[in-house]
Amino acid sequence: MKKVLYLSLGLFLTCLGIIGAFLPVMPTTVFLIGALFCFTKSSPRLESWLIQHPKYGPSLVAWRKHGAISKKVKCIACCSMLISFILVCLFASMPIPAYIGIAMFMGVGAYFVVTRPSMSAV
């Protein structure tokens, strides 16, 4: 039963990752990292497929082995968070504490991304 749940979640996360590859406001790699975790517990074939993917495989392997993120992805992630926050400020009507909460949440996310080792350093 656990294997089926992990497989289902892995497929769902893979679908989200594929959608994220085409939508600039949605991440890709984070969903594929989650899918890789699920496939590790449910499907060696799909795990191998993700690891051997020409575009995403190297990033997934670097994350799995070293917790590393490429400098390019770090830059894209932080810029995306900043742009998203600016768009929220421009187009959403919320109380000031909501904006502060969003800024803090994105700040924590950016801090996490920036403090991971870079792929070139591993």
Each residue's pLDDT tens digit, 47-97: 999 999 999 999 899 999 999 998 988 998 899 899 989 999 999 999 999
The two tokens of residue 96 are 């000031």
d(C-alpha 45, C-alpha 8), whole Å: 14
H helix intervals, 26-95: 29-42, 44-51, 57-66, 71-91
Cβ(33)–Cβ(23) below 8 Å: no
Each residue's pLDDT tens digit, 2-27: 999 999 999 999 999 999 888 877 78
Sign of CA dihedral 7, 109, 112, 78: positive
Tokens 């994350």 belong to 63
Tokens 């517990």 belong to 41
